[in-house]
Structure 1
Amino acid sequence: MDHPELRFAAGLADVPEKWPVSASETVHSTGRVISVRRDTIEPPDAEAFVRDVVVHPGAVGVVALDDKNRMLLVRQYRHPVGYRLLEPPAGLLDVQGEQYRLGGERELWEETGTKAADWRILVDAFTSPGLTNEAVRIFLARDLSPADEAYDRLHEEADMETVWAPLVEVVAAVLAGHLQNPILVMGSLAAWTALNGPGFDSLRPADSPWPAKDL
């Protein structure tokens, strides 16, 4: 099939683009996490159309690996899907002005009582770009140790279970369809690829720019 072929550093990248919006209104707001915005979009050389956008503050996730390449996970009840999911520590970017890495450090501490000395970036992703502007950054955290103090968990987090799982087993469970949390899926596959490819030292520094959130 005669299609263009893209390569790394030669077109294989997402391109920022914004079409004009002639009208925009907030049609729903919870006042807590999300709101729904209705935009009238004016595409080039085509008729205007309307789309609803779920406005989200973004999130961070943490693939925390020990010196045996075991992944630190929590098992948490998720009401919208009706599952108790195995997940990496993760949470909203809901602290005004907080640096992304500090958000990852906070979530790792709050959910597992753990801190890490070595931080890298594994993946940046849009979770569902046809519906929401939610962006997630997934960190790799290593050189783990217990945090100096515990966090008082509430609501769904109150009965979370913390477990270890070998990274190779996590990847196998993902490919078998046994694990479905998107941050776990993306993060574990990215970590496995780095571990068995160019190595963790090839990953981006933890404080690298995040165009999806910094624009």
Structure 2
Amino acid sequence: MTERLEDVVAPRPVVRRDDVFSGRIFDVVRDSVDLGGGGEAGEGDQAGTVTREYVDHPGAVAVVALDAEDRVALVDQYRHPVRSVLWEVPAGLLDVEGEPAHVGAARELAEEADLVAQRWDVLADFLTSPGGSNEALRVYLARELSPVPVGERHVRTDEEAAMQVRWVPLDDAVAAVLDGSLHNPSTVVGVLAAHASRAGGWASLRPVDAPWPYRRGTLPS
């Protein structure tokens, strides 16, 4: 029997934590981590204690909203760190204390794309940059879509003020990922996962409350 391929939550003891930076969305922390073996890192074969700085992030959700014609809803947004307007699936932070992730995803879909969905499934989970951040992101598949009534739509501000919604055939979105035209990680993961899951008759989809060990507050500190 082939051994199951899966990541394993296996925290090492944090012997000291320092706050390096506190920001509006995320913080930067410095952990001294005991990797075992004693001594300081670099002393022969002994792992010992190492220092790691990383972004402490609340986590996020993203939504592949797929209509009856197999088109995915993409929104454009200016992303200042990369000085670019990116086409993205609707997404947002998990910054509401105690909010179920799928509820946050539904909120983001309504706010960014003016859409509501009757059918929700978990499509994929990923860690955006595990070498430098604890940000965990869950991608949902949303189907059976309908528009938010005009009078109930969210008023978008800042970078979202000029946001447009574009409906793109899923196959075209996959091609744009593979030819290097799309770069947002949630979009890349989401459209490729949707394409693969559709090819398998959607058998890979998981329920909205599927275990998510990497969501902030779930991992041991």
Q: Please indicate the TM-score interval, normalised by the length of the shorter structure.
A: over 0.9
Q: Which amino acid aligns with 1:204?
A: R
* Partner residue in 2 for 1:194: 197
Q: Quick check: 1:15 aligned with 2:8?
A: yes
| Alignment of structure 1 residues 175-194 onto 2, 5 Å | 175-194=178-197
Tell me the distance in 2 between the aligned counterparts of 1:67 and 1:201: 18
Spell out structure 1 runs of 4+ moving beyond 6 A: none
Rounded Cα–Cα distance in structure 1 between residues aligned with 2:204 and 2:128? 24
The match for 1:87 is 88
- The alignment status of 1:24 with 2:9, answered yes or no, reads no
1:44 deviates by: 1.5
What residue in structure 1 maps to residue 213 of structure 2?
Answer: 211
Separation of aligned partners in 2, 1:20 and 1:177: 40
Instruction: Report the counterpart of residue 40 of structure 1 in structure 2.
Output: 32
Question: SS in structure 1 opposite 2:15?
Answer: strand
2:157 pairs with one of 154, 176, 180: 154
* Paired letter, 2:74: L
Show the counterpart of 1:3. none
Give the letter for the 1:177 counterpart.
G
Q: CA deviation at 1:47?
A: 2.5
Q: In structure 2, what residue type is equivalent to 1:137?
A: R
Q: Which amino acid is 2:188 matched to?
A: V
Q: In structure 2, how many angstroms separate the alpha carbons of the residues matched to 1:144 and 1:56?
A: 30
State the shift of 1:21 in Å: 1.4
Partner deviation per Cα, 1:119-150 (whole Å, 9 max, x = no partner): 00011111000001000000000000011320
What do residues 79-106 of structure 1 show as CA deviations (whole Å, max 9, x unaligned)? 0101100000000001111110000000
Letter in 2 for 1:110: E
| Alpha-carbon distance in structure 1 between the residues aligned to 2:147 and 2:164 | 16
**What is the count of residue pairs matched by the alignment?**
206
Q: Which amino acid aligns with 1:100?
A: A
Cα distance in 2, alignment partners of residues 163 and 185 from structure 1:
16
Deviations 1:60-90 (A, max 9, x none): 0000000010000101111010110000000
Distance in 1 (CA, whole Å) between partners of 2:176 and 2:160 is 23
Q: CA RMSD in A?
A: 1.2
How far apart, CA to CA, are the structure 2 residues paired with 1:18 and 1:177? 35
1:66-81 maps to which residues of 2 (within 5 A)?
66-81=67-82
Aligned: 1:125 with 2:126:
yes
Gaps of 5+ in 1: 1-5
1-structure distance, mates of 2:14, 2:74: 41
Q: Is the 8 A contact 2:36 2:49 kept in 1?
A: no
Percent sequence identity is 50
SS of structure 2 residue aligned to 1:25: strand
Structure 1 residue identity aligned to 2:139: I
**TM norm structure 2:** 0.90
SS at match of 1:194: helix
CA 1:141–1:97 in 2, change beyond 3 Å: closer, same or farther?
Answer: same
The one-letter amino acid of 2:189's match is M
Corresponding position of 1:174: 177
- Measure the CA separation in 1 of the matches of 2:188 and 2:167: 16
